[in-house]
Structure 1
Amino acid sequence: MYEDEAVTEPHPLTQLLQRLTQRVRAFDRRRPLVWDLLVTAFFVGAALVDASGGWRNVAPNTDVPGPLIFLMTMGLSLPVLWRRRHPMAVLGVMVATGLVNSWSGAMLQAALIQMLVLFSIAMRLPLKTLGWAGLMMTAPLVVGAIRYPEDSWDQQIIPNLWAYALIALLGIAVRSRQDYTEALVERARQLEVERDQQAQLAAAAERTRIAREMHDIIGHNLSVITGLADGGKYAAAKSPERAGQALDAIGTTSRQALGELRRLLDVLRDGAPAPAELAPQPALTDLGQLIDGVRAAGLPVRTTVHGSPDTVPAGRQLTVYRVVQEALTNTLKHGGPGAKATVDVTYAEDGVTVEVTDTGAGANRGTGTTPASSPGRGLTGMRERTALYDGTLEAGPLPRPTGGWRVHLHLPKDSETTP
């Protein structure tokens, strides 16, 4: 192995211990009562083995009656069953039994089972409670040292206190590790939720953007085609040449719409075998071509431009283009016969200002499809594009008696491009 290679795989023995620990914890979560019964049965069995006669090897008083030995054995081991639900009550019973054990001189080894309860207290209860538990467990040690002073105090009490302290520290360490792991799991869960929410928001925003682009592309071109077809229908009887020109314009507009739609769908297609055909987004220099197409569809448009679009960023240029496109499309669809449109574009120090007005009837306007009181995709798309650049958009009917419709757009200058 090279020195710069990172060791990512744990030792096989560590993996085995981790798997065993996970299985034990999983069993404990599924069957807590079964696990408590197994643990209690183990310690009761070990205590009974000591009570059968082994306790006399270390007891300062070997004349303790057998029934008392049995009762103390049960008092020191059986309460383990309830150690997790009522740890302090269990410790109280075991300490009381331990006082009798120390006073009688039996010194049953089952008294060491108190350390298991101390571990549970360190795992689940506040540190203040842990301090009281330590004082309670010290009482039998003091009683035994006073009642049977065979060795010095430090030999009878200090080793046990060190054992209690180590068990308490072990419980605190395991508790801290569990809290840390739970915090990591919760953090990971929150990150997954945030990731899913961000993905949903991004998908919703992308769907909105795609819907807006498709509406602008298809809606405008279909409106132009409709105008050309209507004009060609009237011209067919009187001027076949004009009808042929209208059909040529319909074909050109249709191919342009199909090309833009194909490019958009190629970008959306998953796993496309070839890179999608790309083309520049419309800019302010394309406004002339846009207006010529609208004029060809039968809508007279007068254009006035003040200033130069050279300093306008591409994103703002696209927004201006789409707003003009949507406004003229609405005039084509709802302006009625004899409608005329005016497009005024001003490039100033404070930004871009566009005003599109027409002399149409002005009824059922504001959406492209529905009355102005119920905004649809057209006006909504214009407002969304304007909001991206902190601009303002006003759309509504002109006052009578002139009538008509007005769309006013202002996009402030990009602060990042200001010298």
Structure 2
Amino acid sequence: MHRLNAWLRGHPMVVDGAWASIVGFLTLLAAVAEDGSRIALLGIGAVMFVLMTVRRRWPDVVVVAGIALGLLQVAGRIDQNTPPAIGYLVFCYTGAAFGRTWTSRLALAAGLTAGPLSVAAFYHSDAGMAHGFLQQAFVSALLSSPFILCWAWGRLTRVRRAYLTELEDRAARLERERDAQAKVAVAAERARIARELHDVVAHNVSVMIVQADGAAYVMDNSPHQAKEALATIASTGRQALVEMRRLLGVLRTADAAEEYVPQPGVEELPDLLDQVRTAGLPVEFSTSGEVRELPRGVELTVYRIVQEALTNVRKHGGPNVTARVAVDFGDRDLNVLIEDDGRGSTDAHLTAGGTDGLGHGLIGMRERIGMVSGSLDAGPRPGGGFRIRAVLPLKTAR
């Protein structure tokens, strides 16, 4: 049924031709019963059939031709109380529903004058002048009313069709906007996952490299320390593999993401610092203020900033470098400070940012902090070394 309706909407001449055939059949029956004007009635019926069939394809031409046919019928005093008269109502509806503005107005004018013209041509009264005038006015209004109703119906159809078209356009526009927003969300998620992967790989691989170098150095003189370094490399590699699986799981299915561990936060900072100390970087850690639960976005941001900053220290701090991490829980802000006393290249901190010159380390920090409406200050530290200070507004982040 749905396919049939769609096909009929796509072929309006078939529907109009079916209705025109009914009117034509009734006209043929009326012509058989007619004596005087049978040929004229058949001719009007034939023209009416053609006009009704093509009315939606050429509405302007059909309305003009229908008005001309009606005037010809009035001038020839051919009886209008016949089935072809139905076509004039259809033409009035067509002009209002499918024609241009001038066609709609012309159809309305023709409908208003149809009654008076019919009365003038076919109606005669033997009553008094005043009484006869009132009768003619009443009959004129009565004959014009069907045309006015058909014209109003046509206008209502035009308004409804325009409203449906607007709804379809709006739905299509909203669908396009939804698709565009989905693409933006996918791109943002991929960028977030790329930053996560960068943090995981940069931190853990850096630890593994330091441990591997240390193991190679003490392999002959201290096998026990070399064994501990190899164990740290294995543990770090497994941890990196778990985190990478978690991140890649997000790309597969939403259900699979639940199988992976939660994202790290401030509570995991001591474990991170122990891992860094094991890799050979002394780190001092302190907290101040009222320690409390933070939004997950802020938790992950703090963890990744500290992780990235310490990775930078190991790469660019130079020999015998030490670092300090301080987290201050304020009333409205969370302040995170990471600084070192290294003698490495300050330009390496600023330009490379822990990414071997690709410039994504500090950029990633700023993007992460920007997601929670925070601010980042990174630069050389008085007396040597490098300092990174991040301020995360807790009230805004909630």
Q: TM-score range by the shorter chain?
A: 0.7 to 0.9
> CA shift at 1:272, angstroms?
6.7
Residues 99 and 139 in structure 1, CA contact (< 8 A), matched pair in contact too: no
CA distance in 1, matches of 2:41, 2:365: 90
Residues 1:135 and 2:109 aligned together: yes
- Select between 160-169 and 150-159 the one with higher mean Cα deviation: 150-159
CA distance in 2, matches of 1:388, 1:118: 63
CA distance in 1, matches of 2:198, 2:221: 35
CA distance in 1, matches of 2:15, 2:146: 25
C-alpha offsets along residues 310-360 of structure 1, whole Å, 9 cap, x if unaligned? 364454233222101101112223334444333333333342222223322
CA root-mean-square deviation:
3.8
Which residue of 2 is the match for residue 369 of structure 1? Answer: 355
Which residue of 2 is the match for residue 241 of structure 1? Answer: 224
Residues 1:356 and 2:338 aligned together: yes
Residues 334 and 363 in structure 1, CA contact (< 8 A), matched pair in contact too: no
Distance 1:345 1:94, change over 3 A: closer
CA distance in 2, matches of 1:313, 1:149: 88
Which residue of 1 is the match for residue 71 of structure 2? Answer: 99
Which residue of 2 is the match for residue 12 of structure 1? Answer: none
CA distance in 2, matches of 1:144, 1:313: 82
Residues 27 and 41 in structure 2, CA contact (< 8 A), matched pair in contact too: no
Q: Which residue of 175, 199, 214 maps to 1:192? A: 175
- Select between 290-299 and 336-345 the one with higher mean Cα deviation: 336-345
Gaps of 5+ in 2: 126-134
- The 5 A counterparts of 1:208-247 are 208-247=191-230
Matched to 2:6, the amino acid is Q
C-alpha offsets along residues 223-243 of structure 1, whole Å, 9 cap, x if unaligned? 111111112222223333332
Which residue of 2 is the match for residue 124 of structure 1? Answer: 98
CA distance in 2, matches of 1:157, 1:252: 100
If the length of structure 2 is used for normalisation, what is the TM-score?
0.78
Aligned length: 383
Which residue of 1 is the match for residue 391 of structure 2? Answer: 410
Matched to 1:379, the amino acid is L
CA distance in 1, matches of 2:253, 2:148: 63
Matched to 2:310, the amino acid is L
Residues 44 and 74 in structure 1, CA contact (< 8 A), matched pair in contact too: no
Gaps of 5+ in 1: 1-15, 57-61
> CA shift at 1:149, angstroms?
2.4
Residues 343 and 354 in structure 1, CA contact (< 8 A), matched pair in contact too: yes
C-alpha offsets along residues 388-411 of structure 1, whole Å, 9 cap, x if unaligned? 221101234558xx5543322111
> CA shift at 1:81, angstroms?
6.5
> CA shift at 1:291, angstroms?
1.9
If the length of structure 1 is used for normalisation, what is the TM-score?
0.75
CA distance in 1, matches of 2:21, 2:100: 28
CA distance in 1, matches of 2:299, 2:41: 95
Residues 79 and 94 in structure 1, CA contact (< 8 A), matched pair in contact too: yes
Residues 28 and 42 in structure 2, CA contact (< 8 A), matched pair in contact too: no
> CA shift at 1:138, angstroms?
4.3
C-alpha offsets along residues 21-59 of structure 1, whole Å, 9 cap, x if unaligned? 43311223xxx6x887x5798499669847966554xxx
